Structure 1
Amino acid sequence: MAIKVYGYPTSTAVLRVVAALNEKQLDFEFVPVDMRAGAHKQQPFISLNPFGQVPALEDGDITLFESRAITKYIAYTYETQGTPLVHRDDKKQMAAESVWQEVEAHHFDPVGSKLGWELVYKVMLFGMETDMAVVEENEAKLVMVLDIYEARLAESKYLGGDSFSLADLHHLPLLNYLMETQVKKLFDERPHVSAWCKDILVRPAWEKTVAFYKHG
C-alpha cells in the first residue's frame, strides 16, 4: 500500500514530513485536508488525528500523527533507503542529533512560528495586518537562539555533526518562509548560520518539497 500524507500543502508540519519522504526517495499519495472549511476538526480526518491537526500519515496498517514523530518513523523504518537521517552507528552524533531535534522543537519553532504567523501567514492567507510589536519581541528572542546556533555551527557543519540529519531537516519549512521576510538579516549576520541555511535550503529533496507546495 502506498504511503498517504493527509494535510494542507503550505503547513510547515506537513512540509516537514514531505521533506523527509523526499530525502528517503519514497513515493507517497497526498490527500488534501480543507482546513479553511474545518475538515481537520471533523470526520474522517479526526479519526487519524484526534487533536484535529495536520499532518497524519498512513503506511499500510500504521497511522501516525505529530510531524516530528512521523519523520522519525520514516527515518528509522526506511533507514537504508535514500539519505541517512539518523546515525545510529555513531553514538556521539546520534546523541547530538537528539539534542538538536529538541532544541528545534522547544526553542526555534515557538519563536519562528510566531514570526512566520505575523510576517507570512496573516498576510498571505488571511489578509490581516502584521502586529509589529509581536515581531519585535520575537526577533529579540530569535537573536538569542541564533547566537547559540552560531556557536554550535562553528564546531560542526550541521547541528548534529558532520552529516545532515533530522536535526537540520526539521528547521527547513520555517526557514524557507522566514528567508522571505525581514528576519532574513538575522540569519545572514551570522556566518556559520548563514552557510548552514544556504546549504540545507538547496538540497534537491527540499527543492522538490518547495515545488510540491507551490505547484501541487
Structure 2
Amino acid sequence: MAIKVHGSPMSTATLRVVAAVHEKELEYEFVTIDMKSGAHKQPPFISLNPFGQVPALEDGDLKLFESRAITKYIAYNYENKGTSLVHKDGKQMAELTVWMEVEAHQFDPVGSKLVWELIIKNLFGMQSDDAVVEENEAKLAKVLDIYESRLSNSKYIAGDSFTLADLHHLPVLQYLMGTKVKNLFDERAHVSAWAKDILGRPSWAKALALQKQP
C-alpha cells in the first residue's frame, strides 16, 4: 500500500513532508485537502488530525500528523532508501537534533511571520505591517549571523551531509527568497551558498511541482 500524504500544495508544512518522501525515493499518493472550503476542519480529515491542520500521513495502518514528526518517521522507517537524512552516530544525531530544534524555534517563527506579512497578506488584499516586517527582519538577521558562523565550518547546517535539519528549512526559505528579505541571505556568503544548494535539490523541485498541477 502506497504512502498517502494529505495536504495542500500551498502549505509549507505539507511541502516539507513531500520533499522528505522524494528524498527517500518513495512511491506515494497525494490527497489534496481543499482548505478554502474548510475541509481540513471537517470529517473525514479530522480523523487524521484532530487539530484540523495539514498535512497528515497514512502508511498502512499508521496515521501521523505534524510535519516534522512525519519527516522523522519517514527518515527512520525508510533508512535504507534514498538520502539518509539522519545520523547513526549518537553524538552526530544529538547535534542534528539541536539544529532541527533551531529551525523549529528560531528560524521558522520569524521566517513564517515574514512570509505572512510580505506574501500571504498581499494574496488576501491586506496591507503588510512595516513595523512588524522591520522587527522580524532584524530577528532573522541575528539568526542568519549564527548560521553564517555555523556554515563556515560545515557544508550543511548539521554537518557535511544533507539532513532533516536542512530539509525542514525549505518551504519557508523558498517563499522568503521571493521577497526583499533575500538580501539578508545574499549578504552572507556561506548562508547564500547553502540556501542555493538545498533549494536546488531535485526532491524540492518535485515537491514544488505539486503547485503547478491543475
TM-score range, shorter chain: over 0.9
Distance 2:76 2:106 in 1: 25
Alignment of 1:11-50 (within 5 A): 11-50=11-50
> In the TM superposition, what whole-angstrom CA distance separates every residue of 1:76-121 from its partner, at most 9, and x where no partner exists?
0000101111111x33321211100000000000000000111111
2:171 to 170, 173, 185: 173
Report the equivalent of 2:78: 78
Q: What secondary structure sits across from 2:6 in the alignment?
A: strand
Letter in 1 for 2:87: H
Letter in 2 for 1:137: E
Report the equivalent of 1:5: 5
**Which ranges in structure 2 are unaligned for 5 or more consecutive residues?**
none
Letter in 1 for 2:150: R
| Structure 1 residue 62 displacement after superposition | 0.1
Q: What secondary structure sits across from 1:147 in the alignment?
A: helix
| Structure 1 residue 153 displacement after superposition | 0.6
Distance 1:51 1:63 in 2: 14
Alignment of 1:58-97 (within 5 A): 58-88=58-88, 90-97=89-96
Report the equivalent of 1:131: 129
> In the TM superposition, what whole-angstrom CA distance separates every residue of 1:110-157 from its partner, at most 9, and x where no partner exists?
000000111111223x22222211111100110111111111111111
Q: What secondary structure sits across from 1:37 in the alignment?
A: coil
Distance 1:113 1:142 in 2: 11
Q: Which runs of 4+ in 1 moved over 3 A?
A: none
Q: What secondary structure sits across from 2:4 in the alignment?
A: strand
**Which ranges in structure 1 are unaligned for 5 or more consecutive residues?**
none
Distance 1:135 1:77 in 2: 40
1:199 to 159, 174, 197: 197
2:143 to 129, 134, 145: 145
Report the equivalent of 2:54: 54
Distance 1:162 1:91 in 2: 16
> In the TM superposition, what whole-angstrom CA distance separates every residue of 1:22-62 from its partner, at most 9, and x where no partner exists?
10011111111111111111111111101111000000000
| Structure 1 residue 21 displacement after superposition | 0.3
Is 1:115 equivalent to 2:90 in the alignment?
Answer: no
Is 1:98 equivalent to 2:79 in the alignment?
Answer: no
Q: What secondary structure sits across from 2:162 in the alignment?
A: coil
Report the equivalent of 1:190: 188
| Structure 1 residue 63 displacement after superposition | 0.1
Scaled by the length of structure 1, the TM-score of the pair is 0.96
